[in-house]
Amino acid sequence: ITDESKKKSEEQLEKSKEEEKKKEQEFKETEKRLIKKDEFLDARQVEIDKEVENIKIRIDEVKKIQEKVTKIEEEKKIELERVSRLTEDEAKEELLKDIEKKYEEDILIKIQKLENANEEKLDRRAKDILATSIQRLASSTASELMTTVVSIPNNEIKGKIIGKEGRNIRAFERAAGVELIVDDTPGSIVISSFDPVRRQVARLALENLILDGRIQPAKIEELVEKAKEEINKIIKEKGEQAVYECGIFNFDPRIVAILGRLYFRTSYGQNVLQHSIEMTHIAGMIAEELGADVAIAKAGALVHDIGKALDHEVQGTHIEIGIRILQKFGADERVITAMKSHHEDYPYETIEAIIVQTADAISGGRPGARRDSVENYLKRLQELEALVNAFPSVEKSYALQAGREIRIFVTPEKISDAEAKLMAREIAIKIEQELKYPGEIKVTLIRETRIIEYAR
């Protein structure tokens, strides 16, 4: 009995322990659930607090909006009272101002886009016009020849041309202002000069001398003078051909004659008359495309460099000289306005002036049109002659042998032999001080007195 009681007591005790554990477990789980619930409630409380804060903010915003609405209503009421007193035009102006102010940024962006689009469109149009004008014109490239070759029937002529102790060749060079190169080259004599007019005069005179056969100083001077007259006729013909080719017929004949002199002028190796004719065609085509005055544009282009025909003889830039020539011989003022701005020395006053400048840039800037080396060489020789011609008593001077010699002719009545020697030295010193040149320059001063009488 005791064992059974003990066993039952133990079972009961064990059962009590299990129940106690079970209850303890349940208590722990309940505690966990309570903790979780508490955490949830805390989180929920935070959310509720945030929502409350947001609601407060929204309430404030609504209040502000209500205040704005109230203010706007008051402003509109005032505005309506004011507008009711406006006329239709005044109301329209007010409305446009409001719209402009409201959409100012959009309008500026739109304007910028339109400007960019127009700029691109105009750029393409300008390129099309220039490309079309250039393609419609075919022109030759520049030539840098500074010599002219004259054919001779036999080499015996060379001896006659040189003359006894070289008197004939010296007389020829003195009269024509060129250098004759008589060397071993068979069948030819070379005329060298930087001035194309002198070369042509010398060529004609030499050819006529060879045909005549009487080669002596007096005959040389006679034929050189005749050659100068012949060249003047050619100059006139070239001027007439130029205006006829360009279709311009309202120039004074004296302008046409001066224009013809450009046939014997070059600029950076480009023949100036040919350049002017080429420019005239380009200017005419551009003017047609733009709806400008074609006749004025062409005339301005043709005479734009006319001052270069006289710039050795007259003071001033070739543009200033050209303006004086055209004004003197009654050219249309619109033509003068069109030609005077091609180097931007004068402001552009008309669209034709811009066209002339553009045509000049196209003609001079195309590949092969110009070469700097010859222009620099010519400029050096021209400066040499100009420096010498500035001395008193100098009648004329010629730069020979590529500028290595300057031959000066003085008026014998104004200077003695002793003064001539002194002047030669002064000229040499002046050249040393003012000009840059390689090697040395030979200064030859010639004082010649001629007395002519006739026996009757």
pLDDT at 20: 84
Same domain, yes or no, for 114 and 178? no
Q: If pLDDT is split at 50, 70 and 90, which confidence band does 373 have?
A: low
186 and 289 share a domain? no
Which among 266, 197, 193, 207 is positioned nearest to 232, based on CA atoms? 197
Whether residues 253 and 348 share a domain: the answer is yes
Is position 55 within any domain? no
Q: Which of 43-47, 114-118, 221-225 has the highest mean pLDDT?
A: 221-225
pLDDT band for position 147 (cuts 50, 70, 90) = low
Give 361: exposed, middle or buried? Use CB within 10 Å, 0-12, 13-18, 19+. Answer: middle
In the prediction, which pLDDT does 88 show?
A: 67
1 domain-assigned: no
Question: N- to C-terminal Cα distance for the chain?
Answer: 202
Q: Does 32 reside within a domain? A: no
Whether residues 228 and 259 share a domain: the answer is no
Same domain for 277 and 337?
yes
Alpha helix ranges (H) inside 308-350: 318-328, 333-339
Kind plus residue range of the DSSP H or E element containing 399: strand 394-400
| Strand 270-271 to 405-410 pairing | unpaired
Mean pLDDT of 182-187: 78
pLDDT score of 138 more than 50: no
Read off the tokens for 108. 């500026």
Q: Is residue 327 located within the same domain as residue 349?
A: yes
Confidence (pLDDT) at 218: 87
Residue carrying the six token digits 């190169």: 181
Is residue 393 domain-shared with residue 344, that is, in the same domain? Answer: no
Q: What is the mean pLDDT of residues 54-72?
A: 87
pLDDT of residue 314: 65
- pLDDT for 84: 64
For residues 326 and 396, state if they share a domain. no
Lowest-confidence segment of 141-150, 210-219, 252-261 by average pLDDT: 141-150
Report, as an integer, the average pLDDT of 391-419.
Answer: 84
Position 21 in a domain: no
User: What is the average pLDDT score of the chain?
Assistant: 80
E-only strand ranges, 134-220 = 147-151, 179-181, 188-192
Asked whether residue 442 is domain-assigned, the answer is yes
What's the rounded mean pLDDT across residues 350-370? 73
Residue 434: per-residue pLDDT: 83
pLDDT of 217 reads 86
Residue (of 270, 236, 249, 258) closest to 140 by Cα position: 270
Report the CATH number that the domain containing residue 152 is assigned in CATH. 3.30.1370.10
Kindly state the average pLDDT of the residues 265-291. Answer: 82
The token pair that represents 349 in the structure block: 């006053």
Contact 298, 316 (CB under 8 A): no
**Domain end: 345, 370, 395, which one?**
370
Confidence of residue 86 (pLDDT cuts 50, 70, 90): low
Are residues 254 and 354 both part of a single domain? Answer: yes
Residue 191: inside a domain, yes or no?
Answer: yes
Sorting pLDDT into bands at 50, 70 and 90, what band is 376? low
pLDDT (0 to 100) of residue 85: 64
Rg (CA), the chain: 50
* Predicted local confidence at residue 291, as pLDDT: 83
Question: What is the pLDDT confidence band of residue 264, given thresholds at 50, 70 and 90?
Answer: confident
Check: pTM over 0.75? Answer yes or no. no
Q: How confident is the model at residue 142 (pLDDT cuts 50, 70, 90)?
A: very low
Q: Above 70 in pLDDT, residue 410?
A: yes
Q: Specify the pLDDT at position 129.
A: 58
- Residue 367 pLDDT greater than 50, yes or no: no
- Output the domain CATH number for residue 391: 3.30.300.20
Q: Give residue 368's pLDDT.
A: 47
Q: Looking at the domain assignment, is residue 377 inside a domain?
A: no
Question: Quick one: 285 and 351 in the same domain?
Answer: yes
In terms of domains, do 417 and 442 share one? yes
**pLDDT classification of 42: cutoffs 50, 70, 90:** confident
pLDDT at 369: 46
Q: HSE (CB half, 13 Å, CA atoms) of 442?
A: 8
366 and 253, same domain (yes or no): yes
- Full residue range of the structural domain in which residue 107 is found: 103-135
Q: What is the pLDDT of residue 132?
A: 56
* Average pLDDT estimate for 113-134: 63
> Where does the pLDDT of residue 83 fall: very low under 50, low under 70, confident under 90, or very high at 90 and above?
low
Q: Give the model's confidence band at 313: pLDDT under 50 very low, under 70 low, under 90 confident, else very high.
A: low
Does residue 210 have a pLDDT over 60? yes
pLDDT recorded at residue 372:
46
Domain count for the chain, please give it.
4
Domain boundary among 335, 370, 405: 370
Whether 56 maps to a domain, the answer reads: no
pLDDT grade, residue 135 (50/70/90)?
very low
Q: Give the Cα-Cα-Cα angle 292, 296, 297 (nearest 5 degrees).
A: 65
| Residue 309's CATH number | 1.10.3210.10
Q: 447, 415 in Cβ contact below 8 A? A: yes
